[in-house]
Chains A and B, each alone.
Chain A
């Protein structure tokens, strides 16, 4: 019998598994399943960006780089962020290249949290926020967002959730899994509160280019926020570069310096070929990105209309590539709905509760997939719903 479990740290042993893993295990064994569970672009990285990585290898550029990333990479990030988001960051002291936003957020938490520090985050949200806080011996405090509000963070809810000991606020707009965004007035109220309570803000803006309604505003661009915000971004979503594992953090020098310490001991540097591909994306990737965004928007319109036709009430996600229909009219909870749908009609949607308790009553359906698959999933969901007495 394997008793090696005794070696696992308590805070890891008690950490729940991601709700997505079980699902993945079942779906990956099913031959003709239609998956709306994919949390990444269905596009291959645009050719000119792949070419930059190939060219980097051909030139024999296979070494470590500066811990922060190459000078060129940081300079391009600085230009791109200033142009598209507003704030200007010094490539020498305020920018750090990372292994995606995942690493950036992890090292931000590890370099800023003392044991017991509290971290506010809005739910439903990306699966790793709360566990990452727990792994840093911090306490994650969810703030519920709701469909009636299109899952934007209500500043009043933020104020209500705050408690003494809160040090950090994680924001993610547009939001995975809800497609929620935050307009300028909401962000201004959030910023005001962050200043009042002296919160550091981690703003994960990985989906920002994929904003379909209105203009994306970064909280880092608001008055008084640059000095208390770490802007986290990457290439996975906008440029379809998930496998490159490349991202970055921009923020005040002392915070970036702390993150750099954790990064240099834990990671050393992001892969050089990914950095070079990312430079090409920053310089010349805009047209490819806009093309993909248009495709996502068209698919969004179809899938949202389809869910509503089927009687699964679905708000219009304003960004990212996920629909988040309300499945409560079926009388089932999210997990039961997702399991039965998978068993009976072989359609995979991720139960909303995988994204936190606030996701109860919803399921996430990625529209980063072909029309054929979305259409087929719609037909199968219709057949599934026909078998269920509806409320």
Chain B
């Protein structure tokens, strides 16, 4: 794996100058690597991982299971791409199993999510049914344990 990518995936908060120092490259070389990764479509973007309890004061998040009919509406891809284009949609996946698309949406409040499902999703030709589940509490997100106290380690700061 690309060494820059490997370092980013470790989840440490490092800027390009720091990454450059660690890998023995200049910051410009790291920028070039990152640009190349974006161009190749490997790296879609980089975002901070927020504590969901902070986020939840301002946003609600829901996961929506969607059953679709593919005939005459451009197949899975057509519908999935249409749904992905909504700004409320954070992620969208084609799934195996009891439903077809799994969509994660965020909105200011519960009513806005409900409105999105009614007025947007349900009206898309090919959408046969939806099932919406709201997130209540997060315990782990993107590899980070949310409750720092739960993951606290009593490791001494100096040991033999």
Q: Which residues from chain A sit less than 8 Å from chain B, CB to CB?
A: 18, 20, 23-24, 27-28, 33, 35, 37-40, 42, 44, 126-128, 176, 302, 305-306, 348, 350, 354, 370-372, 374-375, 378
Bound together, the chains give a CA A374 to CA B10 distance in angstroms of 14
A40–B12 CA distance with the chains assembled, in angstroms: 20
Residue numbers in A under 8 Å from B153 (CB-CB): 44
| Complexed CA–CA distance, A305 and B14 (Å) | 18
Closest residue on chain B to residue A30 by CB atoms: B157
Check A38 against B157 for contact (C-beta < 8 Å): yes
Given contacts A370-B12, A371-B12, A372-B12, contact A128 B160 (CB under 8 A): yes
Inter-chain contacts of A371 with B (CB < 8 A):
7, 10, 12, 14, 18, 22
Is B155 a contact of A38 with CB atoms below 8 Å? yes
Contact A38 B156 (CB under 8 A): yes
Could you show 29 A-B contacts with beta carbons less than 8 Å apart? A18-B160, A20-B158, A20-B160, A23-B158, A24-B157, A28-B157, A33-B157, A37-B159, A38-B156, A38-B158, A38-B159, A39-B160, A40-B155, A40-B159, A42-B155, A44-B153, A126-B160, A302-B21, A302-B22, A306-B21, A348-B157, A350-B158, A370-B12, A371-B10, A371-B22, A372-B12, A372-B14, A372-B18, A375-B22
Q: Residue on B with the closest CB to A301?
A: B24
User: B14 to A27, Cβ gap below 8 A?
Assistant: no
Q: Knowing A371-B14, A375-B14 are in contact, say whether A24-B21 is a contact too (CB < 8 A).
A: no
Please give, as numbers and ranges, the residues of chain B lying within 8 Å of A378 by CB-CB distance.
21
Q: Is B13 an interface residue (CB 8 A)?
A: yes
Q: Which of B129-160 contact A (CB under 8 A)?
A: 153, 155-160
Given contacts A370-B12, A375-B14, 8 further A-B contacts (CB under 8 A): A24-B156, A28-B156, A33-B157, A35-B158, A40-B155, A44-B153, A302-B21, A371-B7
Contacts of B21 in A (CB 8 A): 302, 306, 375, 378
A23 to B158, CA, bound (A): 7
Chain B contacts of A126 at CB under 8 A?
160
Say what secondary structure dominates the interface of chain B.
loop
A372 and B159 CA atoms in complex are apart in Å by 20
Which partner residue on chain B sits nearest A375 by CB separation? B18
Docked-complex contact A39 and B159, CB < 8 angstroms? yes
In the complex, how many angstroms separate the beta carbon of B9 from the nearest chain A beta carbon?
A: 12
Query: With A and B bound together, what is the CA distance between A39 and B14 in angstroms?
Result: 24
Q: Complex formed: what's the CA distance from A44 to B157 in Å?
A: 15
Least Cβ–Cβ distance between B21 and chain A, in angstroms: 6
User: What is the minimal beta-carbon distance from A172 to any residue of chain B, in angstroms?
Assistant: 12
Docked complex Cα distance between A28 and B153 (Å): 13
Question: In the complex, are the beta carbons of B159 and A24 less than 8 A apart?
Answer: yes
Q: Which residues of the partner chain B approach A128 to less than 8 Å between Cβ atoms? A: 160
Cα distance, A118 to B154, chains bound together (Å): 38
Least CB distance from B26 to A in Å reads: 14
Which of chain B's residues 3-43 have a Cβ closer than 8 Å to chain A?
7, 10, 12-14, 18, 21-24
**CA separation between A35 and B155, bound complex, in Å?**
11
Which of B10, B13, B156 neighbours the largest number of chain A CB atoms within 10 Å of its CB? B156
Q: Which residues of chain A are near B159, meaning CB under 8 Å?
A: 20, 24, 37-40
A28 to B156, CA, bound (A): 7
**CA A375 to CA B156, docked complex, whole Å:** 20
Could you say which residues of chain B place their CB within 8 Å of the CB of A350? 158
Instruction: State the Cβ distance, A133 to closest chain B Cβ, in Å.
Output: 16
User: Is A348 a contact of B14 with CB atoms below 8 Å?
Assistant: no
Q: Are B158 and A27 in contact (CB under 8 A)?
A: yes
C-alpha spacing A372/B22, complex, angstroms: 9
Which B-chain residue is minimally distant from A354 (CB atoms)?
B160
Contact with B158, one of A176, A305, A306, A348 (Cβ below 8 angstroms)? A348
Known: A371-B7, A371-B12, A371-B14. A24 touches B158 (CB 8 A): yes
A174 CB to closest chain B CB (Å) equals 15
In the assembly, what is the distance between CA of A354 and CA of B10, in Å? 33
Complex Cα distance A44/B150, Å? 13
**B24-A305 in contact (CB<8A):** yes
Q: Do B157 and A37 touch across chains, with their CB atoms under 8 A apart?
A: yes
- Name the residue on B nearest A44 (C-beta): B153
Q: Chain B residues with Cβ under 8 A from A35's Cβ?
A: 157-158
Would B22 and A27 count as touching, CB distance under 8 A?
Answer: no
Q: What CA separation (Å) do A186 and B14 show in the bound complex?
A: 42
Bound complex: CA of A24 vs CA of B157, how far in Å?
A: 7
- Complex-state Cα separation, A302 to B19, whole angstroms: 11
C-alpha gap A372/B13 in the complex (Å) = 7
Q: What is the bound-complex CA distance between A23 and B159, given in angstroms?
A: 9
Nearest 10 A-B pairs (CB), nearest first? A37-B158, A24-B158, A35-B157, A39-B159, A127-B160, A27-B157, A372-B12, A302-B22, A23-B158, A39-B160
- State in angstroms the CA–CA spacing of A302 and B159 once bound together: 22
Task: Give chain A nearest CB distance to B87 CB in angstroms.
Answer: 33
Who on chain A is nearest to B17 by CB? A375
| CA gap between A37 and B160 in the complex, in Å | 8
Most A CB within 10 A of own CB, among B18, B22, B23, B155: B22
